[in-house]
Structure 1
Amino acid sequence: MVAKEEPIVTEAPASVSKSERVYRTLRERIQEGQYTSGYRLVLDQIARELDVSPVPVREAVRRLEAEGLVTFTRNVGAEVRGVDVGQYTDAMQTLAWLEGAATGLAVTHLDGERLARARSLNEDMRDLLGDHFDPVRFTALNEQFHRVLCGACPNEHLLGLLRREWLHMSLVRRSSFAAMPGRPAVSVEEHDRILALVTSGAPPDDVERAVRDHKLRTMNEYLATRGRTSRA
C-alpha cells in the first residue's frame, strides 16, 4: 500500500509580525519608486494606513535606516534617502568587472535554453520602450538578463561575489533608468550585440569587454545626467 503523501504546510501570513509586515511594505514602495528620494515617512500616518501602532512602524524605519534606504534626523523625522553617487559609482564599477569576467567565463557553457531565455528577457525590455515606459520593471528585467548569462559561469566564488553586489546595487540604486530617457533603448541594442558575440563564437575576452563597457556606459550616462541636473 502506497503511503499517503503528507500535505505541505506553509507558514500562515498571520504569523508575520506587524513590524515585519510594515518593513516589507515600506521597502517595496521604496524599491518600486512609489516613495522617491526625499519622501517624508510620517510614522503616525503610516500606522493608520497599515492599521498598526506607531511602534512597529518605528522598528521598520530603523531597519530601513540600517540598510541605507532611509535617513532619520532628530526633530525632523524620517525620509527616503537619495542615491549616493559615490556608492552608485563604486557598485557599478565593481559590477562591470565582475559581470564582464563571469560572462566571459560562461561563454563556452551557455546552452540554447539560457540563450533563448536571455533573448526573451531582452525582447520584454524592448516591449517596454515607448510612452508607457516602466523603469522599475525595465531594471528588474535588465538584472535578470545579466543573471541568466552570468549564471553559466563555472566559478562559484565569482558568482557569490556577484550575488552580493547585485543585492548591494538593489539597495543603492533602485532604478536609475528613469533619469536617463535615452539609455534604455541603447541598452537593449547593446544586449543584442552581446548575444551576437556569444552566438558567433567570439573570443571570451571580446565578450567580457563588451559586457564591461556596456555596464560602464550606463554608469557614465547616469553620472552625466546627474551633473546636468545639478547645474540646471
Structure 2
Amino acid sequence: MSPRRLTAATADEAGGAITQSKSQRAYQLLHDRIVEGTYSPGYRLVLDAIARELDMSVVPVREAIRRLEAEGLVTFERNIGARVAEIDELEYHDTMETLSFVEGAAISLAAGLYSKADVDEARTINEQMRESLAAFDPVKFTALNEAFHRRLSDVSPNAVLGDVIDTCWKRLARLRQSTFSFVPSRALPSVDEHEAILGLIEAGADPRRIELAVRAHRLATPDAYLQRTHADTSQNRP
C-alpha cells in the first residue's frame, strides 16, 4: 500500500490539529490556574506573556481565552484586555441557596431508599476528601465534593429535583469550580458535616432533620466566602 501523499488539504489538517492541540494546552493551563485561585478574580491575562511561557504564538492563547470567556471564567474589556471574571456574589449566594433547598429536599425524599452500598460509596468519597487535605488540592477536593453530593441526591425518586440540582452544579462551575481555594477553612468542617449527614441517614433519622442538616451544610460555605470577601474589602479601604 503506497504512503499517503501529503496534499495541501492534508497539510492544512495537520496544521489545524497542531493549533488545536496548542489551544487545548493553553486552555487547560489557564482554566486550572483560574479554578485553583492562582489567577484571582480581576487578574489581567497578558497574551504575549502566556504565549512566551508556553512557547507558542498568541493565536492558540487567544483561542483559549475566547473559550474561557464563553464559559464565563474570563471577561474582555476594551482597551484593557482579558481578565479573570469577578465572582458575582449575589448569583453565587442565590445558586447555593437554591441548591441547599432542592438538594435537601432530594436527599430527604431518598432517606428511606439508601442501601448500605450507597452509604458506603459516599463515605469512601468523603474519606478521599479527608485524605486530600494533607496536600490540599482545591480542584480535586471540589470534584470529590460534587461526587459526594451527587451520590446522595441521585438516589432521590424525584427526577425534576435532579434536573434542578444538575442545573445548579453547572451554574456553580461557571461561577467558579472551586470556592474552597478562597475559604480553605471550610474544607475540614465540610468533611465532618458530610459524615454527620451519613450518620443521620444510617440511623434512620427523620427526613426533615436530614433535610435541615443538608441545607445548613450547603449554606455554610457561601456564608464563609461572603464574610471573608467583605472582611477583605473593609481592610483594603483607606
Give yes or no for TM over 0.5: yes
The higher radius of gyration belongs to 2
Pick the aligned partner of 2:151 from 139, 148, 153.
148
Matched-pair contact (CA < 8 Å) for 2:102–2:165: yes
Answering whether residue 112 of structure 2 is matched by residue 108 of structure 1, we say yes
- CA 1:154 to 1:173, structure 2 compared with 1: closer, same or farther past 3 Å? same
Shift of 1:60: 2.6
1:119 lines up with 2:116 in the alignment:
no
Question: Aligned partners of 2:182, 2:63: CA distance in 1, in Å?
Answer: 31
Alpha-carbon separation, structure 2, partners of 1:179 and 1:64: 20
- Aligned residues of 1:37 and 1:81 also touching (Cα < 8 A): yes
Classify 1:70/1:124 alpha carbon distance in 2 versus 1 (closer, same or farther; 3 Å).
Answer: same
Contact 1:71 1:78 in 2 (8 A): yes
Distance 2:25 2:191 in 1: 36
CA distance in 2, matches of 1:98, 1:202: 19
Matched, 1:80 2:84: yes
What is the percentage of aligned positions where both structures have the same residue? Answer: 49
* Residue equivalent to 2:61: 57
Give the number of aligned pairs: 219
The aligned amino acid for 1:210 is: A
RMSD, aligned α-carbons? 2.3
- Runs (5+) with no aligned partner, structure 1: 1-12
Q: Find the residue that maps to 2:75 and give its secondary structure.
A: strand
Task: Provide the residue aligned with 1:139 in structure 2.
Answer: 142
CA distance, structure 1, for counterparts of residue 34 and residue 44 of structure 2? 12
Residue 46 of structure 1: CA displacement? 2.9
For residue 103 of structure 1, report the CA deviation from its aligned partner.
Answer: 1.0
Q: Which residue of 1 aligns with 2:74?
A: 70
Task: Determine helix, strand or coil for the equivalent of 2:210.
Answer: helix
Query: 2:82 aligns to what SS in structure 1?
Result: strand
Alpha-carbon distance in 1 for matches of 2:153, 2:101: 12
Q: What are the Cα deviations for residues 147-188 of structure 1, in whole angstroms up to 9, with x where unaligned?
A: 111111122222122112111101213322233343222212
Shift of 1:65: 1.8
**1:70 Cα shift?**
0.8
Match of 1:207 in 2: 210
Contact 1:102–1:150, Cα closer than 8 Å, also in 2: yes
Whether the 8 Å CA contact 2:37–2:182 is kept in 1: the answer is: no
Distance apart, 1:146 and its partner CA: 0.5
CA contact (8 A) 2:37 2:181 kept: no
State the distance in 1 between where 2:56 and 2:165 align: 38
Q: 2:163 aligns with which of 160, 163, 167?
A: 160
TM-score (ref. length: structure 1): 0.83
Equivalent position SS for 1:177 = coil
Asked whether the equivalents of residues 183 and 221 of structure 1 are also in contact (C-alpha less than 8 Å), the reply is yes
CA contact (8 A) 1:33 1:174 kept: no
- Within 1, Cα distance between the matches of 2:150 and 2:138? 18
TM-superposed CA distance for 1:36, in Å, is 2.7
Map 1:5-20; keep pairs closer than 5 Å. 16=20, 19-20=23-24
2:231 matched to which residue of 1?
A: 228
